[in-house]
Amino acid sequence: MSITIKGLARELNLSVSTISKALTDSHEISSETKQRVLELARKLNYKPNPYASSLRRRRSKTIAVVLPAIADSFFSLAINGIEAAASDKDYHVLIYLTHESFAKEEAMLDDFQHGRVDGILISVSRETAQSKHIQDVMNNGIPVVFFDRIIEEIATTKVTTNDFESSYQATSHLIQQGCKRLCYLGISKDLSISNTRMEGYKKALTDNGLPVEESNILYCTNEDEADFQLIKKTLKGKKRPDGIVASVEKLTTPVYVACEELGLSIPDDVKVLSFSNLYTAPILNPALTTVTQPAFEMGQKAAEILLKCLGKKNSKLDNESIVIPSSLTIRASTL
Amino acid sequence: MSITIKGLARELNLSVSTISKALTDSHEISSETKQRVLELARKLNYKPNPYASSLRRRRSKTIAVVLPAIADSFFSLAINGIEAAASDKDYHVLIYLTHESFAKEEAMLDDFQHGRVDGILISVSRETAQSKHIQDVMNNGIPVVFFDRIIEEIATTKVTTNDFESSYQATSHLIQQGCKRLCYLGISKDLSISNTRMEGYKKALTDNGLPVEESNILYCTNEDEADFQLIKKTLKGKKRPDGIVASVEKLTTPVYVACEELGLSIPDDVKVLSFSNLYTAPILNPALTTVTQPAFEMGQKAAEILLKCLGKKNSKLDNESIVIPSSLTIRASTL
């Protein structure tokens, strides 16, 4: 057991308030007294009770990271980046998973209004089509920084990657490789990144004289089996696509399995690429072409901005977008 | 903004202490008053400040999960299981990453001694060779449950999988497939699971009349490039292994890449299997045989046990091992 403030006060024959002020380096306390207090505190292994000091300062030294999922290499790498920035500044990171549920996301943000965390990093769920829950928490003085999955109209800092350009570039690559019927696999009509990536795909088609057909734009659900059946049905159809742009990595496995079951060769019959940070991409059968997102850097940057804001009194977050570019890594699945 | 206890007291012309007691259902307060307080609290959207109530009850309604890494499908699935159990009981989950560093793990556990969390779930780092930091936090009244990577000598509940048996079964499978020189890829001489899996491997060799050669037991580091070079060197050697048992999934990619660079065929020249929950295992080139661990179930079970203990006064954790079996999924990499 370590000693409390009361214990220090007793040992030094000083008031609790004097000890407390000395420990927080108050100008009301002489440097001589401060030194006495600090020496004993060190000697007796004094550690502040984080809840007591949170209550006093209304600070928990904790940031929340609200994410749709963790079993995704983008988010797990982003968390590593966030964690790296937070541990530099001695902050704790609370990770909250929405599992793509708007109701859960709303309940979490509601809970944050009551002092549990100092600031929030969020990548919204695929169901999130409104922003009141986020605006409310910001109005309550808790800063929010978006990363990856943003809500455009909220005035705060957003860290994203160049989704439009990288999707345009990836789709153009498929067209250069000879694809004529390109299918886009999205995950939500409401989600900013899913739409931005779709716009990049559409623009590449148009710029290359190919028609945009709504029947080639598919929205997957959050249910693995339903996604698999939808993909398989599309690949069995008369107007079978000869190229697939998957907007999230978890759609890669059902595409590969469906092709195998249908006897379709990747890349001969269908060329496939995915937005993905999968470290197994090079050893898939065949190796997968990926739009590789700067996941670690995005998480780290978002956390640094939030922590900088928390470190200054009355600091406000700028309404700005910070874009860290992705890169296209071409492998056998599109050659 | 929601209302505070003070605000409720003002509105109802009652003391702060009466409001507080009414809200916590104290027997000192009449049921009539309780009803008035609760009605207004609901109407004005009163939410307790979690730090204030934590301080009073010395409870944070938060559990910590201490893990070596998150970019690993075992841990990300285990977190989902932990999170499922915690959200059932309205607990928050704080995730702490040690990045396989004992020093970080020690600092985290030291920090927990001062009230931030009510209980701890831990899977120790590969460097962790001693247990004082965990014993200290337990002596301070904070219950600890181990999952996956345990420390045997600490008297508490441990949730593991049948590492010895599943490694024995996996190694035996390789021997049945004709392998004579089997290499075991471990990650630490100190880590319980790494050693238990190695013992299963050794026993399978001995039971099948094959020699145990120390030169076939390799310890990888936490550095991707060094691991890759070590694996490549082994696969280039005169006594090249014809079978590989990888004890963690992140060693799969370097094994596959090394084989490709050396022109070795999996499974014809080298058969490969890994302890892994990779959802891309079926679409690797070739599809990977895995010892599939019950990651979600292990996380969920460990959290349920911890939360049950936290839910009862003076409850103590049994010194017991709960074993949830893994399964061997045979695919093309060993056929």
- Tell me which of A282-286, A299-303, A316-320, B87-91 is least confident: B87-91
Mean pLDDT in residue range A6-20: 85
Cβ separation of A79 and B70 shorter than 8 Å?
Answer: yes
C-alpha–C-alpha distance, residues B271 and B89, integer Å? 45
Q: For chain B, which domains are there?
A: 5-48 (1.10.260), 57-161+295-325 (3.40.50.2300), 163-292 (3.40.50.2300)
> What residues contact B88, with CB distance under 8 A and at least 6 apart?
none
Cα-trace Rg, chain A: 25
Q: In this structure, are residues B290 and B272 in contact, taking their beta carbons and an 8 Å threshold?
A: no
Partners of residue A81 in chain B, C-beta under 8 Å: none
pLDDT at position A2: 62
| Model pLDDT, residue B56 | 42
What backbone phi and psi angles, to 5 degrees, belong to B30? -70, 155
User: What's the CA dihedral at A304, A307, A309, A310 to 10 degrees?
Assistant: 180
Task: Give the distance from residue A300's alpha carbon to the nearest chain B alpha carbon, in angstroms.
Answer: 15
Q: Tell me the C-alpha distance between A123 and A195, whole Å.
A: 15
Q: Which among A80, A257, A285 is the nearest to B70, CB-wise? A: A80
DSSP-assigned states of every residue in A52-85: HHHHHHT--SEEEEEES-SSSHHHHHHHHHHHHH
Mean pLDDT score of chain B: 88
Residue A11: other Cβ atoms inside 10 A: 15
DSSP state for residue A284 in the 8-state scheme: B
Closest Cα in chain A to B96: A93
Segment A316-329, tens digit of pLDDT: 899 999 999 999 99
CB contact under 8 A, B51 and A60: yes
Average pLDDT over residues A38-46: 82
Q: For residue A35, give the 3-state DSSP assignment.
A: helix
- Specify the pLDDT at position A50: 52
Query: What HEC string does A81-141 produce?
Result: HHHHHHHHCCCEEEEEECCCCHHHHHHHHHHHCCCCCCEEEECCCCCCCCCHHHHHHHHCC
In terms of pLDDT, which residue wins out, A15 or A180?
Answer: A180
Q: Which pLDDT belongs to residue A59?
A: 61
Q: What is the pLDDT of residues A44-67, one digit of tens each?
A: 877 766 545 444 444 668 899 999
Percent of chain B with pLDDT over 70: 94
Residue A115 in contact with partner chain B when CB distance is under 8 A: yes
pLDDT band at A250 (very low <50, low <70, confident <90, very high): confident
**Predicted confidence (pLDDT) at residue A247 exceeds the cutoff of 50:** yes
A204, pLDDT greater than 80: yes
One DSSP character per residue, B242-297 reads: SEEEESSGGGHHHHHHHHHHHTPPTTTT-EEEEE---TTGGGBSSPPEEEE--HHH
pLDDT beyond 50 at B162? yes
Section B302-331 average pLDDT: 93
State yes or no: pLDDT of B47 exceeds 60: yes
Q: Which residues are A321's β-sheet partners?
A: A158
Closest partner residue to B47 (CB to CB) among A114, A278, A287 is A114
The pLDDT assigned to B55 comes to: 42
pLDDT exceeds cutoff 60 at A1: no
Whether residue B47 lies within 8 A of chain A, CB to CB, comes out as yes
B286 part of contact set with chain A, CB < 8 Å: yes
Give the separation between CA A23 and CA A35, rounded to whole angstroms.
9
Phi first, then psi: what are they for B154, rounded to 5°?
A: -85, 130
* Backbone phi, psi, residue B144, to 5°: -125, 130
- φ, ψ of residue B173 in degrees (nearest 5): -60, -45
SS3 category, B97: strand
As a whole number, the mean pLDDT across chain A is 88
Instruction: Find the length of chain B.
Output: 335
Contact across the interface for A97 and B114, Cβ inside 8 Å: no
pLDDT, position B49:
59
Question: Model confidence at B1, in pLDDT bands (50, 70, 90)?
Answer: low
Chain B contacts of A76, Cβ < 8 Å?
70-71, 76
- In the three-class reduction of DSSP (H, G, I as helix; E, B as strand; rest coil), residue B196 is classed as helix
| Bridge partners of residue A64, in order along the sequence | A94, A120
Assign A19 a pLDDT band (cuts: 50, 70, 90).
confident
Coil, strand, or helix at residue B223? coil
Task: Work out the pLDDT band at A192, boundaries 50, 70, 90.
Answer: confident
pLDDT-derived band at B54, boundaries 50, 70, 90 = very low
**CB-based burial of residue A40 (10 Å sphere; 0-12 exposed, 13-18 middle, 19+ buried)?**
middle
Contact residues for A51 (Cβ-Cβ < 8 A; gap 6+)? B51, B54, B55, B60, B115, B116
The token pair at A152 is 């455009």
φ/ψ of residue A21, rounded to 5: -65, -40
- Side chain identity at residue A67, one-letter code: L
Sign of CA dihedral A134, A136, A137, A142: positive
**According to the model, what pLDDT value does residue B7 have?**
84
B234 pLDDT above the threshold of 60: yes
Q: How many CB pairs under 8 A join A and B?
A: 128
Phi, psi of A184 (to 5 degrees): -110, 125
Written as one letter, the residue type at A42 is R
User: Model confidence at B154, in pLDDT bands (50, 70, 90)?
Assistant: very high
Q: Given an 8 Å threshold on Cβ–Cβ distance, is B116 in contact with A92? A: yes
Task: Kindly report, residue by residue over A107-141, the tens digit of the pLDDT.
Answer: 889 888 876 789 999 999 988 888 999 999 999 88
Enumerate residues 6+ apart whose C-beta is below 8 A from A40.
Answer: A8, A11, A12, A46
- Do A45 and A2 meet the contact criterion of CB atoms below 8 Å apart? yes
Contact check, Cβ <8 Å, A94/B92 = yes
Query: A310: closest CA among A40, A62, A53?
Result: A62
Backbone angles phi, psi at B213, to 5 degrees: -110, 125
* Whether the predicted pLDDT of B51 surpasses 50: no
The answer to whether B238 faces chain A, any CB pair under 8 Å, is no
The 3-state DSSP class for residue B188 equals coil
Q: What is the DSSP string of B138-152?
A: HHTT--EEEESS--T
Distance between terminal CA atoms of chain B? Answer: 63
pLDDT confidence tier of residue B48, bands split at 50, 70 and 90: low
Contact between A245 and A185 under an 8 Å Cβ cutoff? The reply is yes
Q: What's the rounded Cα separation, in Å, for the pair B266 and B270?
A: 5
Task: Identify the CA nearest to B276 among candidates A183, A280, A7, A19.
Answer: A280
On whether the CB atoms of residues A69 and A97 are closer than 8 A, the answer is yes
For tokens 């990651």, the residue is B295
Cα–Cα distance between B303 and B298 in angstroms, integer?
9
Give the C-alpha distances (Å, rounded to integers) separating B232 from A161, A279, B241: 35, 18, 11
**Mean pLDDT, residues A168-182 taken together:** 97
User: How far, in Å, CA of B291 to CA of B87, rounded?
Assistant: 29
